[in-house]
Amino acid sequence: MANMIDYEGDKEKSYSSAGRGETFSDVISRRLSRRGLLKGSAAASVIGLGIPSIAITQSATPVPSPVTSAEASPVVVASSLTFEPIALDSNDALLVASGYEAIPFLKWGDPITVDAPEFDPANQTAGAQARQVGYNCDWIDFLPLPQGSTTPDHGLLIVNHEYTNPELMFPGYLSENPEYAAAMDAQAGATPSVAVPVVPQVSVDIPEFLTNPTQEIVDIELEAHGLSIVEIRRNDSGVWEIVRDSQYNRRITATTPMEISGPASGAELMKTSADTTGTSVIGTLNNCAGGLTPWGTVLSGEENFQQYFANLALLPEDDPRYALHERFGLNEEASERRWEEFHPRFDVSREPNEPFRHGWGIEFDPYDPQSVPRKRTAMGRNKHEGHTSVVAPGGQVAIYSGDDERFEYAYKFVTAGSFNPDDRAANMDLLDEGTLYAAAFHDDGTGEWLPMIQGEGLLTAEFGFASQSDVVVKTRLAADLPGATKMDRPEDFETNPVNKKVYLVCTNNSNRTIEETNKANPRVDNIHGHIIEITEDGDDHAATTFGWEMFALCGDPADGSTYFAGFDQELVSAISAPDNIAFDLAGNIWISTDGTRLEGNDGLFAAATEGEERGFVKQFFSCVRGAEVTGPIFNPDNTALFVAVQHPGEGGSFEDPVSTWPDGSAPVRPTVVLIQASDGGVIGR
């Protein structure tokens, strides 16, 4: 059964092409051509080589699973990452490289506090969900305990919960639409049982299924959003466990009170009937990629918040807020979730400013369970992906993030103040003051960070920017004006601690035409995505200029238009739709995928970033049907790797699942997976 409801907000959908970022007519960058990007000859894909692997039969408890082996591979090149790559796989089970085990560790609904009930999908309540692991795990991070240490066996696991799939969570949420069935009958020449439009456009105008939300379902969904903070420990037997009675265990959800700080705090556009001061907000929505600060706080990014809001069409088109909401693609009429029927704050006709209070980076202290999360508005408002941070030589802190939509921008925020490693409290408000930049990628392999400061350039009252609060609330419009480069869904944006370079992941953009190609986005109909490597001038992350080159143009290596940092395409694994990235202690890049256009499930891949094997992409892990892989993160000594299997079974329903992982029965459960070497050694080697 096709899933007629896209609760992730159709990340590849382009809601606006109004940006004024630079465009070029060339399809293939001369810079890339100089590096031998297009070799001409087709290469053999790894998919056909039958590479050794382990098929994991899943268990509901964190213990090693039974395995079976696949046939041997003829690949003979030794890699600095010594695991043997697996082939693309489409089964409803995890697959991981030989010598490793993949264990479902933290599942939706698992209790994380001493008073939380055990997961019971037939009797779920909002109160229970507020004390259990949330839905659709995304970004993950590991913070050692005690605070400030590098302990590899004990720490806090931080997990974002991006959105919910109620059609997979609740029996009866979807019901057949008789109007759709009648339209299909009419198209087939039968007499319809109900009146239908003439020449119906079934796939567009008439949904195949109707949603059946209730107050109880919606309230559970609200509590399933947000984040989970869970203390975990590896015991003397080498088994990782949840510390159920931890003082740190906590849920942050779509109903958690939060503060608004920075330039937009108190702004008119931030005020609602429930908050006439514009300084506080209820909850966080669509938490996607995130990051940590040097002082040990969490930064969680709000991404596709637009899907929760309804009835934009009831706002007059001459209302200035209409165009601002339209740029983010708010629903003109009812939302697919229909939360607005139960919570008026999601109805734009009743609370036209509420959407402005979402789309921010959120900071909170995971070591203080009483800390109130703050929406740090100085970093701008967009569909946030990634908040990797690094201390510049001058002491400022740079935060990199992408705006995950087609033809949107890559950003950097540099604090005005300096990081104080000796006084944690002195750093707690660093993110409220600084400079927000948008990236411009030039033809010659150079680039610049364009400052977005009110009063400079076109960012003046004449163009709708009377204050810095206008700049950060209207970040996308502000980035249009100086000519930032429109990217192919800029997602995760991470720094490599070994070579000090910065890597920007562009997942895909099937809407890019030949006229819209540019040097950093060189492909028409870019369905497979790419990764850009950035070198800040002087290795100074506060610099305003940089150099860049293409690290990977993803896809089937047999396609001559792919490129893997110059490595022999005949040996690399096929990879499509890169999403999140992480780096191990050796500086190797680990790439998870979301929405692969290849024949197989999404997975996790690794490649060296330096040396003779730079660009040797190898598939390490494959997830289950309907899912993407997100949030790869290592513990400090790289003996444990955590990944998220998000929205497994998407495309099915509770009654008609396409996946029953990990328990073998409905409901399918998004899960954080623990990967470790069978011998307890370092991952990848």
Question: Is pLDDT of 40 > 80?
Answer: no
Question: Is pLDDT of 31 > 90?
Answer: no
Q: What is the pLDDT of residues 612-637, one digit of tens each?
A: 999 999 999 999 999 999 999 999 99
Question: Is pLDDT of 6 > 50?
Answer: no
pLDDT at 194: 59
Domain ranges, residue 207: 174-211
Closest CA to 12 of 528, 329, 404: 404
Same domain assignment for residues 417 and 369: yes
Same domain assignment for residues 38 and 70: yes
Residue 5 lies in a domain: no
- The sign of the dihedral angle between the CA atoms of 142, 146, 148, 150 is negative
Measured CA to CA, the distance from residue 346 to residue 309 in angstroms comes to 5
Kindly state the percentage of the chain with pLDDT values over 90: 82
Same domain assignment for residues 201 and 219: no
Same domain assignment for residues 165 and 184: no
pLDDT at 23: 34
Token pair belonging to 408: 């949107």
pLDDT at 639: 97
Measured CA to CA, the distance from residue 243 to residue 231 in angstroms comes to 5
Question: Is pLDDT of 34 > 80?
Answer: no
Q: What is the 3-state secondary structure (H, E, C) of 65-125?
A: CCEEECCCCCCCCCCCCCCCCCCCCCCCCEEECCCEEEEEEEECCCECCCCCCCCCHHHCC
Q: What is the pLDDT of residues 389-408, one digit of tens each?
A: 999 999 999 999 999 999 99
User: Please, what is the average pLDDT of the chain?
Assistant: 88
pLDDT at 191: 61
Same domain assignment for residues 113 and 182: no
Among 62-76, 482-496, 586-600, which stretch is predicted with the lowest mean pLDDT? 62-76
Name the region of 509 (left: φ>0; alpha: ψ -120 to 50; beta: rest).
beta
Residues forming beta bridges with residue 115, ordered by sequence position: none
Q: What is the CA radius of gyration of the chain?
A: 24
Look up tokens 């789309």; give the residue: 359
Measured CA to CA, the distance from residue 232 to residue 515 in angstroms comes to 51
Strands 374-376, 361-364: parallel, antiparallel or unpaired by DSSP?
Answer: antiparallel
Kindly state the percentage of the chain with pLDDT values over 70: 86
Same domain assignment for residues 552 and 589: yes
Same domain assignment for residues 506 and 446: yes
Same domain assignment for residues 163 and 201: no
Residue 561 lies in a domain: yes
Residue 348 lies in a domain: no
Q: What is the pLDDT of residues 50-93, one digit of tens each?
A: 222 323 222 223 323 222 223 333 343 445 799 999 999 999 99
Mean predicted confidence (pLDDT) in 342-370: 98
Look up tokens 């899933």; give the residue: 3
pLDDT at 685: 86
Tell me, what CATH number does 603's domain have? 2.120.10.30
Comparison of pLDDT for 25 and 569, the residue scoring more: 569
- Where is the domain boundary, 211, 236, 267? 211
pLDDT at 50: 26
Residue 331 lies in a domain: no
pLDDT at 67: 28
Question: Is pLDDT of 45 > 60?
Answer: no
Look up tokens 């939509």; give the residue: 405
pLDDT at 149: 96
Measured CA to CA, the distance from residue 315 to residue 346 in angstroms comes to 13
pLDDT at 208: 87
Closest CA to 160 of 3, 287, 54, 320: 287
Same domain assignment for residues 64 and 202: no
Per-residue confidence band for 2, with pLDDT thresholds at 50, 70 and 90: very low
Q: What is the pLDDT of residues 533-563, one digit of tens each?
A: 999 999 999 999 999 999 999 999 999 899 9
Question: Is pLDDT of 529 > 80?
Answer: yes
**Do 573 and 619 touch, CB atoms closer than 8 A?**
yes
Q: What is the pLDDT of residues 157-206, one digit of tens each?
A: 999 999 999 999 999 999 988 888 888 877 777 665 555 555 445 444 78
pLDDT at 79: 55
Residue 317 lies in a domain: no
Mean predicted confidence (pLDDT) in 300-304: 97
Measured CA to CA, the distance from residue 287 to residue 533 in angstroms comes to 25
pLDDT at 144: 98
- The sign of the dihedral angle between the CA atoms of 374, 329, 21, 408 is positive
Same domain assignment for residues 188 and 161: no
pLDDT at 62: 30
pLDDT at 195: 59
Q: How many domains does the chain have?
A: 2
Residue 459 lies in a domain: yes
Token pair belonging to 509: 């953009």
pLDDT at 76: 37
Q: What is the 3-state secondary structure (H, E, C) of 621-663?
A: EECCCCCEEEEEEECCCCCCEEEEEECCCECECCCCCCCCCCC
Residue 347 lies in a domain: no
**Do 609 and 496 touch, CB atoms closer than 8 A?**
yes
Measured CA to CA, the distance from residue 9 to residue 49 in angstroms comes to 36
Residue 12 lies in a domain: no
pLDDT at 184: 81
Q: What is the 3-state secondary structure (H, E, C) of 365-379?
A: CCCCCCCCCEEEHHH
Same domain assignment for residues 95 and 199: no
Q: Furthest-apart CA pair in the chain: how many Å?
A: 78
Same domain assignment for residues 78 and 192: no
Question: Is pLDDT of 37 > 50?
Answer: no
